């Protein structure tokens, strides 16, 4: 493992545990009756969103990093005149993909990112219904942990003593480094992953344009920030997004993709998405993986 600052080590451990605990609470609701209410913007809200928000907030406000502010989709949003002075802050979506959650498709995630000066430097994307998670941070790269259930063993005193390593070193050793050689599909068959619940004409037009330029194209529908994980691990080449997303929808996934060698770029100017803007909406963007090849034409 490359040198990682104590600050980011503590942050990554906190966010991994927070995501796991939030995911457990989400699954408890998922396995019962799901009552749905609607927010002012007409997006759905469930008890799982609220419980996950509370758990993550409590977890991130403990220990040495409690001074770092939290901006969560389900929390009270700090005004820009205050948050523009933040050097670091947590950016959280306690339950990304609420529509997938309600429809019991399993494609919902817990997203936790640490933002430093407008860029994500740490990200965790947990997929509770499938049990795996992605995590990344500047200094260590990007990883996939196939079973989040093993996290607990790395925090027991007995296990640390036996292995002589820190919890994070143990987790990194157990996880799979992304992107990983040999995992990628034939470049001659381009694979696009796109939103399952937010299909738009822009997405349909994009897929058609790529087919005309690149020949055979496979399209994979998926929900939530899971799409970023598919790009980071090499299960898809491109994730285009046309239509509204919020900063908390993308920050953790962007970190996972960037630390795996990919990029999440604004469609308008091919620059990375930025965070803590006055308006928390994202512009249209394209996410590409490390081994996606020369795709400059998609910006034309």
Q: Name the CATH architecture for the domain at 6-178.
A: 2-Layer Sandwich (3.30)
Residue bearing the bigger pLDDT, 26 or 2: 26
The domain locations on the chain are 6-178, 190-299
Span 133-152, pLDDT tens digits: 999 999 999 999 999 998 98
Distance CA 261, CA 142 (A): 9
Give me the pLDDT at residue 182, please: 47
Span 256-275, pLDDT tens digits: 999 999 999 999 999 999 99
Distance CA 262, CA 234 (A): 10
Torsional sign, CA 13, 245, 95, 150: negative
Distance CA 249, CA 58 (A): 20
How big is the CA angle at 99 (ends 280 and 202), to the nearest 5 degrees?
60
Q: Where does 190-299 sit in CATH, by number?
A: 3.40.190.80
User: What tokens does 271 get?
Assistant: 């620059």
Instruction: Write down the mean pLDDT value for the chain.
Output: 88
Is the previous residue joined to 219 through a cis bond, with omega within 30 degrees of 0?
Answer: no
Q: At what angle do helices 6-30 and 167-174 cross, to 10 degrees?
A: 60
Span 228-248, pLDDT tens digits: 999 999 999 999 999 889 999
User: What is the DSSP annotation of 97-138?
Assistant: -HHHHHTT-S--EEEEEEEETTEEEEEEEEETTTTEEEEEET
User: pTM for this structure?
Assistant: 0.92
């Amino acid at each position: 493992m490359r040198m990682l600052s104590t600050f980011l080590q503590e942050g990554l451990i906190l966010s991994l545990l927070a995501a796991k605990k939030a995911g457990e609470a989400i699954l408890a609701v998922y396995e019962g009756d799901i009552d749905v209410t609607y927010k002012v913007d007409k997006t759905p809200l469930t008890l799982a969103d609220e419980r996950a928000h509370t758990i993550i907030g409590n977890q991130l406000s403990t220990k040495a990093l409690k001074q770092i502010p939290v901006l969560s989709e389900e929390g009270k949003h700090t005004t820009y005149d205050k948050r523009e002075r933040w050097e670091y802050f947590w950016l959280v979506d306690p339950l990304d993909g609420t529509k997938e959650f309600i429809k019991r498709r399993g494609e919902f995630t817990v997203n936790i990112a640490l933002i430093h000066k407008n860029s994500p430097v740490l990200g965790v994307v947990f997929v509770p219904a499938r049990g795996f998670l992605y995590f990344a941070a500047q200094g260590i790269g990007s990883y996939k942990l196939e079973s989040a259930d093993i996290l607990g063993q790395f925090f027991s005193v007995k296990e640390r003593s036996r292995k002589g390593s820190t919890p994070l070193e143990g987790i990194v050793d157990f996880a799979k480094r992304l992107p990983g050689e040999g995992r990628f599909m034939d470049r001659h068959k381009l694979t696009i992953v796109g939103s399952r619940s937010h299909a738009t004409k822009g997405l349909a037009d994009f897929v058609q344009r790529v087919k005309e330029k690149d020949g055979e194209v496979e399209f994979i529908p998926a929900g939530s920030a899971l799409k970023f994980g598919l790009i980071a691990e090499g299960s898809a080449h491109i994730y285009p997004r046309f239509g509204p997303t919020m900063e908390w929808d993308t920050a953790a996934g962007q970190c996972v993709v960037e630390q795996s060698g990919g990029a999440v770029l604004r469609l308008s100017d091919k620059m990375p998405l930025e965070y803590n803007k006055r308006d928390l909406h994202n512009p249209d963007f394209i996410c590409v993986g490390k081994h996606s090849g020369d795709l400059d034409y998609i910006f034309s």
